[in-house]
Amino acid sequence: MLRHIAGRVLWALPVVLGVSLIVFGILKMIPGDAAVVVAGTDATAADVQAIRHELGLDRPVYVQYALWLGRLARFDLGRSAVTRRPVSYEIATRVRPTAELAGSALGLAVAAGVVMGVTAATHQRSAWDAIASVGAALGVSMPIFWLGLMLMMTFSVDLRWLPSTGAGTTAQLILPALTLGAASTAIIARQVRSAMLEVLQQDYLRTAEAKGATRWAVVMRHAFRNAVIPIVTVVGLQLGYLLSGTVLTETVFARPGLGRLIVDSIRSRDVVVVQSAVMVLSITFIVVNLAVDVLYAYLDPRIRFD
Amino acid sequence: MAVAVPALPAGQTPAARAVRQFGRHRAAVAGLAVLVLAVAVSAAAPLLAPYSPNAFDMSHTTAAPSRAHPLGTDELGRDVLSRLIWGGRNTLLVTGAAVAIAFVSGSALGVVAGYRGGAADTAIMRIMDVLLALPGFLLAVAIIAALGPSMGNVIIAIGVNSIPPFARIARGSTLLVREEVYVQAARTLGASERLIMARHVFPNILSPLVVEATLRLATAILTVSGLSFLGLGVQPPTPEWGAMMSIGRDYITSSPQLVVVPGLVILVVTLAFNMVGDGLRDALDPRHRA
């Protein structure tokens, strides 16, 4: 077990390095001179030269990459070309709205997805089952930004029940969380349904029923517990979608999170901020995936990695 | 040297069976009809669109639907229906091109990795692992940040971020096919590696790749319109469904149809791709047959 975890952690290191290389490489391709952007419009050639030297842009590319990695590890990411504040500050203040959004969307998706999936599986071919399957098909096909705008139109503009923008209060979190969580709810519901249907056919469930266990006990204790593994897999796969989805959701609801920071910084050509924010989200994704992997080993006693 | 193979009676070939199976999947047939219609309308845009997509009329901006403009006009007085028809052309073109790039390069990489094994396999699949370690949409956003927003760059960004699933599927299927008798026979006859990969391996792993491509089109169209919605994709004044919503957003209280309609169209087309994909999977993959 410990060896398995250690192995996974060791494997994550080259992946993080690879990701950092891609992020660094991609953003190195940006046309134009970063030093000119940082220097501003009324800088002299000498100013630009000084800034280029200060940023290390006059060094070979691989030295720049190594220096950037070193700074990344110390979370010393330089200053934003636009706000002039440290990038670490820009990111730190944006983490919370994004974490709240992704976390509540995930919670919602797991809770609603499991309830919908179990109901559909235990009431196979009923109206519930039909509604759940149509809902799942729509959920995965809906443009997330369209859903967000529709919810905003209904609940903020027409009904005036919930605020349409901003972050901080629970009321401001409801619509974005619903928007971001919808597609994942659909996918989780579908997976829960098929995993449950598979387990519900097993002989030991007939045994449980025969010995007089209540329907609830049969479904939850005997069936659901054995359907958990495929469910964890699909939840794990949703994490990347949820982290990516924050970009669109935060833009729709003007939520000051990391996703919105990335979009704004791309528009203002603030390369350092884009690079750092993309890196932070990617590392989060890798770490969470690692946690899901380790969780498997705990959940499924059949998995023994040697 | 040709060996006479007795022909299967018509209607019993695997292809005929797959077509029959697909036909039984009603949602898939409906989805296919929607896609055929969407492609036909896009192709015939110059004939069907009542107005030029860029003809503006500042005296009739954000007009409500009327007989002259069935879906109203946008903020520059352009006919929304015409922009929707022309926009479909761009949205579908970009989506299709991106998935085509991913299909071709992903399959090629996967077949090489699976067939060659060894160092090539390790190198290719480790790169795929790293690409998969980046959340998909974020990778596309980062690529656009580097290349700049344009139609061609959206194709590249989404093409690149869709490569890994094709490579994984192609590699997995190649590992199975590699050991088949017909591949061994070709090898014994002295066929080159390239010929074996192209003529014997690739055609036999096509089914799962086609299913993946169809489902990928659904994801890709959402990414294309999402990037354009963020202002990172197809740029105005070029009509594109996501880009139309991006501008329509500012008029959401007065002219909601500017956002509602393009979104609904994206939803319907995405749903169609997903249904056709599910139908193809049932028809082509015996393990998924219900």
| Cα distance between residue A289 and residue B170, in whole Å | 24
Spell out the alpha helix ranges (H) of A29-57: 34-39, 45-54
| Cα distance between residue A155 and residue B205, in whole Å | 49
Instruction: Name the percent of chain B lying above pLDDT 90.
Output: 49
Q: Per-residue pLDDT for B186 more than 60?
A: yes
Q: What is the pLDDT of residues A237-247, one digit of tens each?
A: 888 889 889 99
Residue B250 near residue B236 (C-beta atoms within 8 A): no
Q: Per-residue pLDDT for B92 more than 90?
A: yes
| pLDDT confidence of residue B170 | 94
Q: What is the pLDDT of residues B221-259, one digit of tens each?
A: 999 999 999 999 999 889 999 999 998 888 888 888 888
Mark which residues 33-62 of B lie under 8 Å from A by CB.
none
Q: Is B263 within 8 Å of A143 when comparing Cβ atoms?
A: yes
Helix (H, G, I), strand (E, B) or coil at B253: coil
A245 touches B at CB < 8 Å? yes
CB pairs under 8 A between A and B: 136
- Choose the most confident range, by mean pLDDT, from A2-16, A44-58, B7-21, B223-237: B223-237
Mean pLDDT, range B91-102, rounded to an integer: 96
Paired strand residues for A91: none
Q: Per-residue pLDDT for B90 more than 90?
A: yes
- Beta-carbon-side half-sphere exposure of residue A125 (alpha carbons within 13 Å): 0
Which residue among A18, A30, A281 sits closest to B138, beta carbon to beta carbon? A281
Tell me how long chain B is: 290
**Three-class HEC string of A196-237:** HHHHHCCHHHHHHHHCCCCHHHHHHHHHHHHHHHHHHHHHHH
Helix (H, G, I), strand (E, B) or coil at A300: coil
Q: Per-residue pLDDT for A133 more than 60?
A: yes
Give how far A197 is from chain B: nearest CA, Å: 13
Which residue among A26, A138, A157 sits closest to B142, beta carbon to beta carbon? A26
| Cα distance between residue A112 and residue A116, in whole Å | 6
Which residue among B138, B145, B225 sits closest to A30, beta carbon to beta carbon? B145
Q: Is B138 within 8 Å of A247 when comparing Cβ atoms?
A: yes
Nearest residue in A to B133, CA atom:
A286
pLDDT-based confidence at residue B287 (cuts at 50, 70, 90): low
Omega of the bond leading into A176 within 30 degrees of 0 (cis): no
Q: Per-residue pLDDT for A220 more than 90?
A: no
Mean pLDDT, range A88-95, rounded to an integer: 89
| pLDDT confidence of residue A306 | 44
Q: Lowest-confidence range among A156-160, B147-151, B202-206, B282-286?
A: B282-286
Give how far B197 is from chain A: nearest CA, Å: 29
| pLDDT confidence of residue B290 | 42
Higher-pLDDT residue of B72, B217: B217
Mean pLDDT, range A156-160, rounded to an integer: 82
Mean pLDDT, range A97-116, rounded to an integer: 92
Q: Is B134 within 8 Å of A19 when comparing Cβ atoms?
A: yes
Nearest residue in A to B262, CA atom:
A146
Nearest residue in A to B223, CA atom:
A143
Quote the mean pLDDT of chain A.
84
Residue A184 near residue A101 (C-beta atoms within 8 A): no
Mean pLDDT, range A219-243, rounded to an integer: 82
| Cα distance between residue B125 and residue B163, in whole Å | 11
Question: What's the CA angle centered on A107, arms A101 and A109, to 5 degrees?
Answer: 100
Mean pLDDT, range A148-160, rounded to an integer: 87
Residue A180 near residue A142 (C-beta atoms within 8 A): no
A131 touches B at CB < 8 Å? no
| Cα distance between residue B10 and residue A263, in whole Å | 56
Q: Lowest-confidence range among A198-207, B54-63, B265-274?
A: B54-63
| pLDDT confidence of residue A142 | 93
Mean pLDDT, range A115-133, rounded to an integer: 85
Spell out the alpha helix ranges (H) of chain B: 14-24, 26-43, 45-48, 80-116, 118-132, 136-147, 151-161, 163-177, 181-188, 193-195, 206-229, 241-248, 257-284
Buried b (16+ CB within 10 A) or exposed e, B65-98: eeeebebbbbebbbbbbbbbbbbbbbbbbbbbbb
Give every CB contact of residue A260 below 8 A, 6+ residues apart in sequence.
Answer: A94, A247, A250, A251, A254
| pLDDT confidence of residue A50 | 81
A282 touches B at CB < 8 Å? yes
pLDDT-based confidence at residue B103 (cuts at 50, 70, 90): very high
Mean pLDDT, range A282-303, rounded to an integer: 80
Distance of CA B8 to the CA centre of its chain: 33
pLDDT-based confidence at residue A82 (cuts at 50, 70, 90): confident
Instruction: Name the percent of chain A lying above pLDDT 70.
Output: 95
Mean pLDDT, range B95-107, rounded to an integer: 96
Q: Is A29 within 8 Å of B146 when comparing Cβ atoms?
A: yes
| pLDDT confidence of residue A31 | 64
ipTM confidence? 0.87
Residue A180 near residue A259 (C-beta atoms within 8 A): no
| Cα distance between residue B97 and residue A56, in whole Å | 39
Q: Helix, strand, coil shares of chain A as percentages rounded to 5?
A: 80, 0, 20
Which residue among B133, B226, B249 sits closest to A15, beta carbon to beta carbon? B133
Chain B positions touching A272 (Cβ under 8 A) are none
Q: What is the pLDDT of residues B108-145, one digit of tens each?
A: 999 999 999 999 999 999 999 888 888 888 889 989 98
Residue among A247, A250, A262 with most chain B CBs within 10 A, to mutate: A247
CATH class, range A94-299: mainly alpha
Q: Per-residue pLDDT for A165 more than 50?
A: yes
- Choose the most confident range, by mean pLDDT, from A79-88, B203-212, B250-259: B203-212
The domain limits of chain A are: 2-73, 94-299
pLDDT-based confidence at residue B94 (cuts at 50, 70, 90): very high
- B163-177 vs B80-116: helix axis angle to the nearest 10? 40
Q: Is A266 within 8 Å of B144 when comparing Cβ atoms?
A: yes
Tokens representing B56 are 């503006």
A254 touches B at CB < 8 Å? no
Residue among A26, A190, A265 with most chain B CBs within 10 A, to mutate: A26
B120 touches A at CB < 8 Å? no
Residue A82 near residue A268 (C-beta atoms within 8 A): yes
DSSP state of A168: S
Residue with tokens 């169809």: B214
Torsion of CA B122, B123, B124, B129, to 10 degrees: 80
